[in-house]
Structure 1
């Protein structure tokens, strides 16, 4: 199991953030411009761990240095599916982190819930 998956499943955001490279590039499913840097990503991870309900990883695909962590979650009454795509440097730090989610209504529910948390 990838250590990022283990950290998120145990809701240990600090451990997940510690796995990010200081210059990580995070691509969100709800904004066009990527977030850059560990400190920009940390509040997003903290908010999403509160917003997602019934979160579970259902599959892990790995071909180092790339990993895909497939998940299911709920935001209110909206069920969604998604995938965390991770790319690591030779030291095992996550340098690229891209999230994709479906369906569109799930993304919209997530965007609204995150807006409320991060406002």
Structure 2
């Protein structure tokens, strides 16, 4: 099992954050612009863990070189079942430098957008605190 998948399934945010490159770019399924940097990405991922219920990975796909991975998942948000995929790219040091999420169906994506919107002030506060402490979210 890939270390990222294990960390997520164990709900070990310290291990997830340790896998993020400082310059990681997170592309959300419900926001137009990507979010650059480890502090905001880590804060978003913590919020996702708070809003997803019954989360589980159902498939893991990797390229031969091991730098690109797709992790297919299922979860529930506000009573809506969703399917999604985390597309990760790993840099030369094995850190995640690109993190893109896609989800379906639209009704579940809308529920996710609403749930994450309710978390966004906390996300910004956590990211700002990490930047101020020089800790990048750890």
Length-normalised TM-score, structure 1? 0.97
Q: Mark the runs of 5 or more structure 1 residues left unpaired by the alignment.
A: none
Q: 1-side partners of 2:31 and 2:16: how far apart? A: 21
Residue of structure 2 in register with 1:97 after alignment: 99
Question: Aligned-pair RMSD on alpha carbons?
Answer: 0.7
Which residue of structure 2 aligns with residue 53 of structure 1? 53
SS in 1 for 2:11: coil
- 1: distance between equivalents of 2:43 and 2:102? 19
Whose radius of gyration is greater, 1 or 2? 2
Quote the offset at 1:118 in angstroms: 2.1
1:47-86 matches, within 5 Å, as 47-63=47-63, 64-86=66-88
SS at match of 1:32: coil
Shift of 1:91: 1.1
Aligned to 2:134: none
How far off is 1:43 after superposition?
1.0
Partners of 1:95 and 1:70 in 2: how far apart? 19
The 2-side partners of 1:105 and 1:13 are apart by 28
- Give every structure 1 segment of 4 or more consecutive aligned residues whose post-TM-superposition deviation is greater than 6 Å: none
Normalized per residue, which structure has more helix? 2
SS in 2 for 1:8: helix
